[in-house]
Structure formats: structure tokens, C-alpha cells
Amino acid sequence: MDTKVMLTEKEMPTRWYNIQADLPEPLPPLRHPATKEPTRLPPPLFPEALNEQEFSKERWIEIPEELQEIYKLWRPTPLMRAHRLEKALGTPARIYYKYEGVSPAGSHKPNTAVAQAYYNKKEGVNRLTTETGAGQWGSALAMGCMFLGLECKVYMVKASYYQKPYRRVMMETWGAKVVPSPSQETEIGRKILKDDPNCSGSLGIAISEACEEAFARDDTKYSLGSVLNHVLMHQTIIGQEAKKQLEKIDVYPDMIVGCIGGGSNFAGLFLPFVTDKIKGKKPKLQIICVEPQACPTVTKGIYTWDYGDVAGLAPIALMYTLGHSFVPPPVHAGGLRYHGMAPIICHLHKLGFVEARAEYQIPVFKAAVQFARTEGIIPAPEPSHAIKVVIDEALKCKESGEKKDILLALSGHGHFDLGAYDEYLSGKLQDYEYPKEMVEKALADLPKVA
Amino acid sequence: MDTKVMLTEKEMPTRWYNIQADLPEPLPPLRHPATKEPTRLPPPLFPEALNEQEFSKERWIEIPEELQEIYKLWRPTPLMRAHRLEKALGTPARIYYKYEGVSPAGSHKPNTAVAQAYYNKKEGVNRLTTETGAGQWGSALAMGCMFLGLECKVYMVKASYYQKPYRRVMMETWGAKVVPSPSQETEIGRKILKDDPNCSGSLGIAISEACEEAFARDDTKYSLGSVLNHVLMHQTIIGQEAKKQLEKIDVYPDMIVGCIGGGSNFAGLFLPFVTDKIKGKKPKLQIICVEPQACPTVTKGIYTWDYGDVAGLAPIALMYTLGHSFVPPPVHAGGLRYHGMAPIICHLHKLGFVEARAEYQIPVFKAAVQFARTEGIIPAPEPSHAIKVVIDEALKCKESGEKKDILLALSGHGHFDLGAYDEYLSGKLQDYEYPKEMVEKALADLPKVA
């Protein structure tokens, strides 16, 4: 085959795929953080349309035309064949990657950011707040709000705000207001700063500030970049495209590999395929979720009810969790440092349709550099976890002689992560063991759901 | 029309276009820096194949298949219609942009980098040296050498080496060795450091170091990222693709706009079109070269014989120049800070086929932000000069009601230039007047060619 399979704009999917229509067992409902009763998403934070999508059982949901036009600025994205990596590995396996780094924000995140901005706008919401750690999600939402004409306010973890100024400037270039969190702009921020004026922030604090502002202002709602069902559904445009692209070259993958933090990037790719496995059409399809050893939610966490956020204000979900109060070691894959996991992915794992592995960051960066030195693209640290597993599997094929078709979720480029590459290349990168004791402590503090 | 026009890999051009076959008057030959006699490129620095291409009169030169395969990692690049910018401007003009930022190095530079690495490799050269300022060219050559299996040594201007570490890390990720210039590795570097241990370097010094090493080592040649005829020819794949893409939607541009530093990006786009103007087929086609007011080579320089480099060691060319000893003010568009200009562009300007304009950097960044806030892509400072002119021209069309088709050369993204955006957005960016006295001083010191 050629190096790339492209789709025309006319071939771009016009509907999102909703896995909830095809689950063999329904997803357990969310629970209210206070009452512990089944609940919807908090209406002060989310518009009605997204709340409907969150619990919808419709198989297909139309992508509004205005949104399709925005997608076309970077979609359909290319499906690439990693000829040069295969050759370097000497493997008979065929490696394909679906590359989402071509979006202006550099990752898959804009697929849901523009959708969320669209539905908020439609319901008269003029402002969105959100949180961001390393800046991937914040920049995607800043861009999404810009396209739809919404104001955007991003609470950026203070340590990142000062250490990664480029991501902040990217958001500001698209017109967003970015404040270092904890800030003086919310009650919780002021309280934390009073206790510790030098607090460098955390994603948990930033979420609380963003939510507090959305609760307090009628014109403002809140936006979340992963985990929730509607977010994963918006990302299914990735997998639908990949399926069409592979069909053009008569390929159905034997194995799909991606990284999971909140889960939206990889679910976006695999959901349109896993349905074939659920229906018994592709019983041998292997779907491998890859997470960091430093935050091994699915491989070492427990499947139970836990809060979505650190403060215990978000709905409670049944999911794999390391405990909502667990703060993972500072690995460079900032997007994979979440204590929980998308309930859809956990549910599919529990039912045996997907599996999970955990990887250390030094071998992950070794794989990333091998990828950069063959395919050219410098991958973000997050999908480099999946690259590590793809290389392992391709080498197994070399041993066995199997000609597997392996599909990789390459969710974004590493242009803003070159500091991490520098650490790796200069031998300064350190690895983090699974912090067992911290997890045990966090798991002792779970909400009690009947 | 749709947002994008894509080409398949099979539609990618398989030949470079050599304008020297179609010039109404031949290009004046280069002169030797010492003897002032007509000369070829110095053989210790350049392989035979590139020297032949430099002076060839063949209209079409085949792109070797191995090279085509590498191009396909990011080519054909998209041609985009700027619907959202047009709407924001309220113009009846139609704006198209050919986007080269999709290459892994983020600009058009890899088109020639991989070609130069290929021809060197073919003649048994195993190492290339080059210089880089802000890092665009150095990273393209690092990637090019990686694909072909050559070693790459980059002398990076010391100020940039420490201020822009991400570009350095990018080169190292692809396997290049990067040293801050002036360095202890060459005679000229040691001499400069002895006189001034804190010297922060300049592009001129870095060129001299890279050339000295290539002269000194048999296994090593030197590589230049712009200005020369063969470099411009390698870039014509851009314009050939754009022409095919516009043909698909039945458009021939009324106006083509691009930025010029050494000239290779814009020549790459317009050369396959200017030939129609030379042949009288498109007499009204307007081609506008845009340069910074701080370094206005074509608009304020003189057309005369001058050295290609600061030290006076490179061949002498007949071109517009501000004087080889002129050091432009530190505008953020580092790629546009060259005292001279590609002889082919100067020749076409002298013959009346292209025109030139100069722009200040503050209005240039204003235009860049308007582009980012409509089209999503954050452009590099260099092509933002062209965006400024495209917006001006589109607004003129709004006045006159003309439905011009305007084609913009969008040579790269600004992911590594967000520091400059930060200065602009926070009101700290300063403008630089044309440094008339410095240019007058530099122009008093030109080589004498009979």
C-alpha cells in the first residue's frame, strides 16, 4: 500500500457512534456526590444537549453541519502505514497509525472541544470555563470557543502556567483568558492561597475553581475534555474514519493499541471496531489500552464507585480507580495522570472486550525516539505509551512470523513536550514505580454507594 | 468549494521544475569570492549532482523514487480555502493557502533537506554540516539526514541555542549533533571565543564554522537551506501541487503572495506559475514578495554583486543586497533576516515578473492573530508577513468589489514562535525602522566585479 490513506471531505463521517446502543449490559448510572442516588450531569455545568447525549441509547447522533464545516479544517485526518518503522524492526507485522496531531491544537481534543462549544452556544451559553494541566485540553477548548464565538476561561495549574508558557500563549492567541490556579478569582482559590500563598496548584484544584465559577455565573458553563460518555462519543469520528480508510485497502486490524488517561482518544478510535467484537463478528480482535506504571488505573486499580474529581464534588461513577485523592508521580505524560477512567472503557474491560497494560516512561521515550527516527513525526509522551506496546507486539510477530495488522492511536505530536525528550536524551529522565502505599491510602477513602 | 483540496499520493509531482529552462534572459553566473571569475559551487562543499542542478537548463528533473517515498510522509500537502477569514473580512476575494506546516519539521524546509541528504549519500558522503539560527533549517536537515542515514552536525547560533532549546532538542531527537556557535570545534570559532569569550554568535559565524568543517573533512559536505538555484528547484513541488489542486476547482490565481528571506519557500510556490506569465499566457498574474521593513532587501537594497555570506567566503552573486556585512535588527521572523536574496527572485524582479513589499512586524502579528482566530492554524512569523498583505489585498477587493483569487504561501506553523506571540499579545513587541545608516555602511563594502 501507499504511505497514507486519505479520505475526501465528502467521505468524512456525518454521525457520531454511540456505543451505549450496543453494549451487552447497560452502563451503570452515575450517582450524585451527596445523595449517592442515580443522577444526570449537573445542569448548571452542562447544557441540556450534552446531558442528553451522555445518557442516550441512540446508535447514531448527527453531527450538526456547522460543526462538520469546522472539523474540515483538519479532518479527515490521515491514516499512515509505518513502512519505515516496520523495516527498522524487521517485522512481518503491518503497522498503521491514525494521526490526530494535524489539528491546529496538535491533538484529538478539538473533536469534542468544538462540539461542546457548539451545543453550549446553541443553548445561549456565552462563556465556558475549564481546567488544564499541561495545556492540551485548554488549548483545544480555547480554539473551540474561538470558532463558535464563545468566551473561554482556563484555570491552568500554576506550575504549568509558569513552566510551559507556550501552551498558555497558544490559548491566548485564540482569545482565551488563562489564569494560574489556585487564583484569587474563586472562593476555593482564595482559601487555598490564604493557607499556602506558594501553592503550585493541581488539576483537582483547577477543576474545583472552574466548576465554582460555572456554578456561580448564569452565562457560564463548564467543559470537560475526557472521561464522560458524550466526550468519548464525539471522538468516535476518529475510529469511523480509520475503519473507512482501512476498508479502502481491505484491512481489518488484528490488534488496536492506544493510550488511556481519561480514555477519550483511544475510545474514539476503538469504539467503532469493538462493536464488531461485541456482535461476535470479530471475536479475535485484540484491543490494548496502555497506561503509565506511575498511574496504572486499570491494571492495578479496583473496580468500584468513586468520585470523578479530587474534591468529591463531581458525580460518582463505577470505574477502575486508584482513589480520587491519589496524586500520581509527575510523569511527563500529563494527560495520563488521572485517578479514574472513562466508565465506558472500564465497563468494556470488565466484560472482557478490551485489555490493559502499564509501561514505564523510560522505555516509552525510547520507543518514541525510535518512532521519530523512522516515521519523522515526534509523538507526544501520551501516545508514546502505545507506541511502546506496538513495537513489542511487532517484535513478537518477528519471532512468530505472524503478519498481524496493528492499528495505533497516534493522538498528538510532541512539539510542546521537547523538554521531556531533552531529559530522556541526556539520560536525566527518571522512572517512577507504582506508588502502592499512596494508592492504598487513597482507596481507603471511597464514597459509600448502596 | 470545500475547505480543502487534497491530492492522492499518485497525483504527487514526480519531477522538479527548473525555471532556468524558461527564463527570457539567462541567470548571470556566480563569481568566485577570491578570483571574481565565473564559478561553480565549491566542490568540497557540494556534491556533483547538486552542482549540476544548480546550473542545469533542463526544464524537468526527475525526483528519485526513494525521495518520493520520503516526501509521501507529509506530501501532497493540503490546499485550503480560507472561508472563515474571508467571512471575517467581508471580502468578495477568494483566499487559498498552500500549507507546508504539516511536515514533521513544521515548514517547507524538508523538501530540499531530504533531497540534499539523498544526493550527498549517493556520492558517498556520510556527514553534513550546516548552520541554523532559530532552528527551522537545522531541524529540517536533521530530519533529512535521519531518513537517509547520514550524520548531521548543526552549528546553532549560541543565543538561539540557549533561548530556543526546543528546536535544539528536536534536532537531537532526530539524531543530529548540535553545538552552540561560536564553538571550540573550528579555528574560526576558537579565534572568536579567544577575542570574546561571551560572543553570542551570529548566522554569519555559524556558516563559517559549518563550512570550515566541511572543507576540512573528506567525509563531510555542507548544506544550505535557501538562496541557491537547486534549493529553489526542490521547492517547486509546492507550486506544482498547488497548480494541480487549483485546476481541480477550475481556478487560476490572480495574485500569489509569499514571504521572502532567502526566497526558497515563495519561489517554490510561484515558479510553476510565473512561467505562464513569462510565456505571455497570464500577463495579469501578480506575484507579491513580502519582506520585513527591518530587512527590506528587494524594496530598499541595490541590485549588484555581493557575497552570499558575511565573511566573504561564499560565491558572489548578482542580487539585491543590503550589504553582506549588514546585521538586521532582531525581528522575530528569523528566517527573513538575510542581507541578500535568491538570484532567481532578484532576476525575475529585475525583469518585472514579480514585485516586492515590506511590512512592519507589529501589523504582521496583528494579521497572524486574525488568521489564527479564523482559520485555527497559528502561523510562523515569516509567512505572517504574507498574511498581512493578503488581508490588505482582500480588503481592497471589498472596496472595489473585485472577486480576486488570491493564493498565499503558508510555509509553516508557529509552535516554536509563541514567545513572539506573547510579546505581541502583551503589547511588548517593538517595531524596527529600516536601519538606513547601517545599510549605507554595509553597501560601501562590496566586492568589485568587472
Residue B159 three-state SS: helix
Q: What is the pLDDT of residues B11-51, one digit of tens each?
A: 999 999 999 999 999 999 999 999 999 999 999 999 999 99
In DSSP notation, A95-120 reads: EEEEE-TTSTTSBSTHHHHHHHHHHH
CB A91 within 8 A of CB A403: no
The region of weakest confidence among A203-217, A360-374, B37-51 is: A203-217
CB-based contact, B172 to chain A, within 8 Å: yes
Closest alpha carbon within chain A to B378: A104
CB of B443 within 8 A of CB of B322? yes
Distance CA A169, CA A156 (A): 12
Q: Could you say which architecture CATH assigns to the domain A65-106+230-443?
A: 3-Layer(aba) Sandwich (3.40)
Q: Residue B314: pLDDT band by 50, 70, 90 thresholds?
A: confident
Q: What is the pLDDT of residue A334?
A: 87
Across the interface, whether the CB atoms of B415 and A175 are under 8 A apart is answered no
Classify A445 as helix, strand or coil.
coil
Query: How confident is the model over B223-235, as a mean pLDDT?
Result: 97
What pLDDT does A80 receive?
Answer: 98
pLDDT at residue B133, as a whole number: 87
- Predicted confidence at residue A111, as pLDDT, reads 98
CB-CB: which of A2, A369, A419 is closest to B72? A2
Distance CA A153, CA B216 (A): 57
Residue A261: predicted pLDDT: 95
Chain A contact for B72, CB < 8 A?
yes
Interface with A, mutate which of B378, B384, B429 (most A CBs under 10 A): B378
A427-439 per-position pLDDT tens digit: 999 999 999 999 9
B104 CB within 8 Å of a chain A CB: yes
Share of chain A above pLDDT 90, in %: 92
Among A207, A181, A432, residue whose Cα is nearest residue A328: A432
Are B173 and A143 a contacting pair at CB < 8 A? no
- The whole-angstrom separation of Cα A71 and Cα A236 is 13
Q: Which of residues 3-42 of B touch A (CB under 8 A)?
A: 3-4, 6, 8-10
Whether residue A106 lies within 8 A of chain B, CB to CB, comes out as yes
Confidence of residue A386 (pLDDT cuts 50, 70, 90): very high
Confidence tier at B112 by pLDDT (50, 70, 90): very high
pLDDT > 90: percent of chain B: 92
B163 and chain A in contact, CB less than 8 A: no
Check whether B110 has a pLDDT greater than 90.
yes
Contacts of B174 in chain A (CB under 8 A): 372-373
Looking at residue B96, its pLDDT comes to 98
Give chain B's mean pLDDT. 96
Residues 6+ apart with CB under 8 A from A380: A101, A106, A107, A136, A333, A335, A411, A412, A413, A414, A417
Question: What confidence score (pLDDT) does residue A262 get?
Answer: 95
Phi and psi at residue A262, in whole multiples of 5°? -95, -25
Residue A83's CB is within 10 A of a number of other CB atoms, namely: 18
Does A165 sit within 8 Å of B419, measured CB to CB? yes
CA distance to partner chain B, nearest, from residue A396 (Å): 25
Mean local confidence (pLDDT), A108-128 = 98
Average confidence (pLDDT) over A132-155? 96
* Summary mean pLDDT of chain A: 96
CA A308 to chain B, closest CA, distance in angstroms equals 31
- A 313-372 near B (Cβ less than 8 A): 369, 372
Nearest to B3 among A3, A72, A169 (CB): A72
The model's pLDDT over B52-103, given as tens digits with 9 standing for 90+, comes to 999 999 999 999 999 999 999 999 999 999 999 999 999 999 999 999 999 9
The pLDDT of residue B191 is 94
Residue B204 has pLDDT above 90, yes or no: no
Whether the CB-CB separation of A68 and A240 falls below 8 Å is answered with: no
Q: B59 vs A312, B15, B161, B275, B278, CA distance in Å?
A: 70, 10, 40, 11, 14
| Whether the predicted pLDDT of A450 surpasses 90 | no
What was the pLDDT predicted at B65? 97
Share of chain A above pLDDT 70, in %: 100
Residue pLDDT, tens place only, A247-279: 999 999 999 999 999 999 999 999 999 999 999
**Among candidate residues B108, B77, B83, B113, the one with its CA nearest the CA of residue B95:** B83
- Least confident stretch, A270-279, A370-379, B128-137, B278-287: B128-137
Tell me the C-alpha to C-alpha distance, in Å, between residue B430 and each of A166, B332, B413, B423: 20, 10, 22, 9
> Which of these, B28, B446, B25, B5, lies nearest to B229 by C-alpha position?
B28
pTM of the model: 0.97
Question: Any CB–CB contact under 8 A between B376 and chain A?
Answer: yes
pLDDT for res B450: 79
Per domain, the residue ranges of chain B are 65-106+230-443
* pLDDT of residue B134 exceeding 90: no
Check pLDDT > 90 for residue B202. Answer: no
pLDDT at A311: 81
Contact B376 A147 (CB under 8 A): yes
C-alpha cell at A87: 523495516
pLDDT of residue A97: 98
